[in-house]
Chains A and B, each alone.
Chain A
Amino acid sequence: MKNLIRIIVISLMIVSCQKTPELPNSNYTIGGGVFVVNEGNFRSGNGSLSFYSYDSSKIYNDLFYSVNGRPLGDVPNSMAINGDKAYIIVNNSGKIEVMDQSTLKSTATITGLISPRNISFINDNKAYVSSLYSDSVTIINLINNSISGYINIRRSSESIASTGNQAFISNWTGGKEIMVINTIDDQVVDSIEVGIEPESMVFDRYGMLWVLCNGGWARLNYAELVEINTSTNYVEKTLVFPTKEASPTCLKIDGLGTTLYYLDNGVRQIDISSTEIPSITFIIQESGEYFYKIGINPLNNDVFITDAVDFVKQGYLLLYDGTGKFISKLEAGIIPGSMCFKLRINT
């Protein structure tokens, strides 16, 4: 009995010694590098923000919690920088954290979004945010950090790319269209039929929009890489993947805007002038690795890969140079996902 009481008392004392977050090196965001958005497990609230610094060749983890003293949220999906502000779209918390991009101090939280995924800045006052579970794209007022309206596109939305007065929005889950919005009056003006489940998009150096359609999870359709002329909104070229098993994701482009990268059982490369899907793998995925997202440094073509391992344990950030040579492997957070480059011109 005495022992039991002792155990209880000791345990209570242990409990009252709460862990205080370790403050990161204050220089962590000085200089160039890449932010990694660690999604964490659905509903577990263990998403986090990491930063790889070129200056120190180190990764700094759990930055949002360290700076702001609270968790980032449930399933942060993507991050984007606009001027001196950084935005993290937290999918299952239905919010956007607005931070000072150098200190990472949260300056505003925009709430009430429905399953937000990605953000695209239209101009200094306005951004569009895609939504997995609603039929509308949300318009954000960047001046007062609020929702200023919705554009009903009658389908869910994933990737957003904008140029000139047009925004292109992909209808990923179960869809096969790119919706075109006039960004002056926020009206849907056109739709472009592409392959099954357009997941990611980039512009090349000639202003062509490249759309990667992954073909759907069940592998009933072929995946496609589609090139769209954004002045006519017509499909210029369609490259069909050779087997239904291929399920490519995460389309990126290099700094010159001529070489496309994507994930399909390893990292693949394809030149924009190519007429067929390449059969060789640029960076091979080893057993035990799970390549989840990629990022290409536009200044030097370094390839960053997030390895989600088993989606439960801490994942890794892998760094390769532009020739595909391995440089380093660094421990990140749980399910390290999409990346956001913080550029310094002389990197």
Chain B
Amino acid sequence: MSIGTDTIKINEVVISRNKYNSDPAGYKKTTIDSSILVNYSNSNLSDMLSENTDIFIKSYGMGGTATPAFRGTDASQTLIDWNGININSPMLGQSDLSLIPVGLIDDVQIRFGGASMSLNEGGIGGTINLVTKPLWKKETLISINAGTGSFGQYSGLMKVKTGNYKFQTVTKGYFQNSENNFRYLNTEIGSEPVWQTRTNSQVRQQGFIQELYLRNSNNIASARIWYESADRNLPASLLTQPNTGEKQFDESLRTMLNYDAFKGSTDFSFTGAWMMSRLNYFNRLASIDSRNLSETLTLKAGLENPIGEYAKLKIVLDEQSSVIKSNNYAHNTTRNTATMTASIERNRNRFGTTILLREILDKNNLLIPDFSAGVQFRLIDNKTYYLKANISRNSKIPTMNDMFWVPGGNPDLKNEYALIYEISYEMSQKISEPFNLKYDLSVFRYNIKDMIEWHPGEYSYWTADNIQSVNSTGAESSVSLDYMRNKINASLKAGYSYTRAIEGGSNIGNDISVGKQLMYVPENKANASFRVGYNNIYSLWVANFVGKRYITVDNSKYLPGYFINNVSTGIKFTLKSSSFDMNFNIDNLFNINYQSIAYYPLPGRTYFVKILFQIVK
């Protein structure tokens, strides 16, 4: 439902028949509202996800690294995809969400647990799929977006989409600069609290996406390129000495070619992607100059064929090879992984079923195959009331750092794997004329085994081994209520998640952490938003609650929970083919002093003003 600020009216024309993206029955998938994406166009993905979804983001604060955690799994068990191709660093196995600007993305899909398996392997917690796509219209859209705010923030974003029903080109470019020199109260040093200003926290970031699409009656071809670079200084913790001269340079270049063809009743899909990612870290004080370059080539081919009247068969082959050049590895290192996935989806009357089987070929060893089975039942004919259930075994190959880091990397590591159980209920209904209600509830259980943990080895350095296990149980629920009549439109959303992620122990003796909640996994998280529009004025309130998070493995210490409110209001004028939108935003309205990671302060009240100008011809 898009209301009020929805400046980009996206007509829901199905433009891609990319078959890895279709939805198998029995799984949970959510899509972020386009109106939310517009509201966060000048922010990064970490802010948008932490304030609007069940995903907990561990953030080192403005400009600092931010990593996601689903349902008690860790950041390397969450995949970030770009149009179905994984973009996590092969070295770290994770993505820094603070480096992904929301303004470049057209659609954000979240696939929980087993639902990620239809996209690719390794997303034990889930997959966040970032979609960029064309509008198959004969028009030219130009939009310019500029904003500035507290602590030296300024940013700009420009998009040009043009073409016709057969050809489309999309160009997007952006920059974001921020000093992040906010003030905070340091109560941790000295006997009296002191006001301090964040130092060494500047971030400069820029990037662009260029996409070309070509469509014929029975095929679609596309070429995409995405470049990003970010230069940032890394601020210190409240307890560490300032000005250690820590900084990081990240650069990535991602290219992708895609060809989808439809022949008779069979659909074919081919994707080739080459991605480069550079991470250079410097620490002047400790004389660390760490240079890491990874290149990954992914080739993916898919085939989809109907079986009988109600079922279809999908086969996907995925080959990935990564080359790492790092001064932290003994030598340049290559890894090849091939996966083959076969799935059958059947939908008849009110029943839907999915069965998926996957084999990962790594180091020429055949491993125990992964699988997933889902069922779906529509409670009432022609109404959107669904009961869904699925069971999966999903595994994740070790990161290249776990295997090859010097010292301590262990090339003999096994894959981590999880058994995932999930039941969910979904409904959507028009209550009375102007009201529409949506509700969903999911209950999940994860048994994660052979988790990789670094531990002190025989000598004085640490080494990686498959020794840890985690059992995570929880529930997610969300409700949304929309109202639309005459000049008023309003939307209320609320979500709550409960996660009990319990350490199952490792084989290191005397394990006092067994049975305890994992560090930095909040048991309770809730978010709520209320949006109201009247004529050309709109307002939005977003509230986000994160419960206490333990910061020691024996749960003896924790960070208190926090409740953060953001408000935003704007006015929008439309003149024939052009529109002008001006928006004023206050984050952390009540100036709450809080931390996501212990001893890393987060900003208090923050103001941001932005304008958006758009022409459609």
Q: Do A and B bind each other?
A: yes
* Residues of chain A contacted by B240 (CB below 8 angstroms): 43, 45, 74, 92-94
Closest Cβ of chain B: how far from A132's Cβ, in Å? Answer: 8
- Say whether A15 contacts B554, CB under 8 Å: no
- Say whether A7 contacts B496, CB under 8 Å: yes
Residues of A68-97 at the interface with B, using a CB-CB cut-off of 8 Å, are: 68-71, 73-74, 92-95
* Residues of chain B contacted by A111 (CB below 8 angstroms): 241
- Say whether A7 contacts B524, CB under 8 Å: yes
* Residues of chain B contacted by A92 (CB below 8 angstroms): 239-241
Cβ-closest chain A residue relative to B242: A94
Contact string against A for B residues 440-473, beta-carbon threshold 8 Å, 1 for contact and 0 otherwise: 0000000000000001100111100000000000
Q: Which of B241, B460, B545 contacts A247 (CB 8 A)?
A: B460
A136–B440 alpha-carbon span in the complex (Å): 63
Q: Is A44 an interface residue (CB 8 A)?
A: yes
- Say whether B191 contacts A68, CB under 8 Å: yes
- Say whether A114 contacts B545, CB under 8 Å: no
- Say whether B407 contacts A73, CB under 8 Å: no
A168–B563 alpha-carbon span in the complex (Å): 54
Residues of B524-563 at the interface with A, using a CB-CB cut-off of 8 Å, are: 524, 526, 528, 545, 547-548, 551-554, 556-557, 560-563
Closest Cβ of chain A: how far from B463's Cβ, in Å? Answer: 12
Q: Is B188 an interface residue (CB 8 A)?
A: yes
Q: A14-B548, A68-B191, A73-B239 are in contact. Are A133 and B287 (CB under 8 A)?
A: yes
A280–B509 alpha-carbon span in the complex (Å): 25
Q: Is A269 an interface residue (CB 8 A)?
A: no
Closest Cβ of chain A: how far from B544's Cβ, in Å? Answer: 11
Q: Is B599 an interface residue (CB 8 A)?
A: yes
A334–B482 alpha-carbon span in the complex (Å): 51
Cβ-closest chain B residue relative to A61: B556
Cβ-closest chain B residue relative to A93: B239
Q: Is A287 an interface residue (CB 8 A)?
A: yes
Cβ-closest chain B residue relative to A10: B524
A168–B547 alpha-carbon span in the complex (Å): 52
Closest Cβ of chain A: how far from B382's Cβ, in Å? Answer: 27
A103–B270 alpha-carbon span in the complex (Å): 72
Q: Is A289 an interface residue (CB 8 A)?
A: yes
A309–B456 alpha-carbon span in the complex (Å): 9
- Say whether A218 contacts B496, CB under 8 Å: no
- Say whether B188 contacts A70, CB under 8 Å: yes
Interface-facing stretch out of B153-161, B321-329, B427-435, B510-518: B510-518
Q: Which of B286, B460, B506, B552 contacts A310 (CB 8 A)?
A: B506
A interface, over-half SS: loop
* Residues of chain A contacted by B556 (CB below 8 angstroms): 314
Q: Is A299 an interface residue (CB 8 A)?
A: no
Q: A8-B563, A45-B239, A288-B508 are in contact. Are A217 and B407 (CB under 8 A)?
A: yes
Q: A1-B479, A44-B598, A109-B189 are in contact. Are A11 and B561 (CB under 8 A)?
A: yes
Q: Is B334 an interface residue (CB 8 A)?
A: no
Closest Cβ of chain A: how far from B456's Cβ, in Å? Answer: 5
Q: Which of B407, B479, B560 contacts A18 (CB 8 A)?
A: B560
A285–B335 alpha-carbon span in the complex (Å): 38
A165–B324 alpha-carbon span in the complex (Å): 53
Q: Is A162 an interface residue (CB 8 A)?
A: no
* Residues of chain B contacted by A151 (CB below 8 angstroms): none
- Say whether A310 contacts B508, CB under 8 Å: yes
Q: Which of A12, A74, A106 contacts B239 (CB 8 A)?
A: A74
A316–B554 alpha-carbon span in the complex (Å): 14
Contact string against B for A residues 311-328, beta-carbon threshold 8 Å, 1 for contact and 0 otherwise: 111101000000000000
Closest Cβ of chain A: how far from B497's Cβ, in Å? Answer: 11
Q: A94-B241, A133-B286 are in contact. Are A249 and B456 (CB under 8 A)?
A: no
- Say whether B241 contacts A334, CB under 8 Å: no
Cβ-closest chain A residue relative to B467: A310
A113–B242 alpha-carbon span in the complex (Å): 11
A105–B547 alpha-carbon span in the complex (Å): 33
- Say whether B563 contacts A245, CB under 8 Å: no
A106–B560 alpha-carbon span in the complex (Å): 26
Q: Which of A70, A74, A106, A287 contacts B187 (CB 8 A)?
A: A70
- Say whether A115 contacts B285, CB under 8 Å: yes
A309–B547 alpha-carbon span in the complex (Å): 29
Residues of B29-84 at the interface with A, using a CB-CB cut-off of 8 Å, are: none
- Say whether A45 contacts B188, CB under 8 Å: yes
Residues of A108-136 at the interface with B, using a CB-CB cut-off of 8 Å, are: 109, 111-115, 133
Closest Cβ of chain B: how far from A223's Cβ, in Å? Answer: 11
* Residues of chain B contacted by A12 (CB below 8 angstroms): 545, 561, 563
- Say whether A312 contacts B241, CB under 8 Å: no
- Say whether B237 contacts A287, CB under 8 Å: no
Q: A7-B524, A11-B561 are in contact. Are A217 and B460 (CB under 8 A)?
A: yes
- Say whether B285 contacts A313, CB under 8 Å: no
* Residues of chain A contacted by B598 (CB below 8 angstroms): 44-46
A286–B510 alpha-carbon span in the complex (Å): 12
Cβ-closest chain B residue relative to A70: B188
Q: Which of A15, A43, A310, A334 contacts B562 (CB 8 A)?
A: A15
* Residues of chain A contacted by B547 (CB below 8 angstroms): 11, 14-15
Closest Cβ of chain B: how far from A241's Cβ, in Å? Answer: 14
Q: A4-B496, A70-B189, A288-B509 are in contact. Are A311 and B460 (CB under 8 A)?
A: no
Q: Is B190 an interface residue (CB 8 A)?
A: yes
Closest Cβ of chain A: how far from B200's Cβ, in Å? Answer: 14
Q: Is B344 an interface residue (CB 8 A)?
A: no
* Residues of chain B contacted by A44 (CB below 8 angstroms): 551, 598-599
- Say whether A71 contacts B239, CB under 8 Å: yes
Cβ-closest chain B residue relative to A265: B458
Closest Cβ of chain A: how far from B292's Cβ, in Å? Answer: 20
Cβ-closest chain A residue relative to B288: A133
Contact string against B for A residues 2-38, beta-carbon threshold 8 Å, 1 for contact and 0 otherwise: 0010011001101100100000000000000000000
Q: Which of B191, B286, B496, B553 contacts A312 (CB 8 A)?
A: B553
- Say whether A11 contacts B545, CB under 8 Å: yes
- Say whether B551 contacts A4, CB under 8 Å: no
Q: Is B238 an interface residue (CB 8 A)?
A: yes
* Residues of chain A contacted by B285 (CB below 8 angstroms): 114-115, 133
Q: Is B146 an interface residue (CB 8 A)?
A: no
Q: A14-B561, A73-B239 are in contact. Are A287 and B190 (CB under 8 A)?
A: no
Contact string against A for B residues 375-403, beta-carbon threshold 8 Å, 1 for contact and 0 otherwise: 00000000000000000000000000000
Q: A1-B479, A15-B562, A133-B285 are in contact. Are A217 and B553 (CB under 8 A)?
A: no
Closest Cβ of chain A: how far from B98's Cβ, in Å? Answer: 18
Q: Is B315 an interface residue (CB 8 A)?
A: no
Closest Cβ of chain B: how far from A7's Cβ, in Å? Answer: 6
* Residues of chain B contacted by A332 (CB below 8 angstroms): none
Closest Cβ of chain A: how far from B453's Cβ, in Å? Answer: 8
Closest Cβ of chain B: how far from A242's Cβ, in Å? Answer: 16
- Say whether A8 contacts B237, CB under 8 Å: no
- Say whether B509 contacts A247, CB under 8 Å: no
Cβ-closest chain A residue relative to B193: A70
Residues of A22-68 at the interface with B, using a CB-CB cut-off of 8 Å, are: 43-46, 68
- Say whether A106 contacts B553, CB under 8 Å: no
* Residues of chain B contacted by A8 (CB below 8 angstroms): 526, 528, 545, 563
Closest Cβ of chain B: how far from A291's Cβ, in Å? Answer: 11
Q: Is A237 an interface residue (CB 8 A)?
A: no
Q: Given contacts A74-B237, A94-B240, A311-B462, could you give 6 more A-B pairs where the C-beta distance is less than 8 Å?
A: A15-B560, A92-B239, A112-B241, A310-B456, A313-B510, A313-B554
Please report B residues at the A interface, Cβ cutoff 8 Å. 187-191, 237-241, 285-287, 407, 455-456, 459-462, 479, 494, 496, 506, 508-513, 524, 526, 528, 545, 547-548, 551-554, 556-557, 560-563, 598-599
14 chain-A/chain-B pairs, Cβ below 8 angstroms: A1-B494, A4-B528, A8-B526, A11-B526, A44-B599, A46-B552, A69-B191, A71-B599, A74-B237, A93-B239, A115-B285, A214-B460, A286-B509, A314-B512
Please report A residues at the B interface, Cβ cutoff 8 Å. 1, 4, 7-8, 11-12, 14-15, 18, 43-46, 68-71, 73-74, 92-95, 106, 109, 111-115, 133, 214, 217-219, 245, 247, 249, 286-290, 308-314, 316, 334
List the 7 shortest-distance A-B pairs measured between CB atoms, nearest first: A288-B509, A94-B241, A15-B561, A45-B239, A74-B239, A45-B599, A310-B508
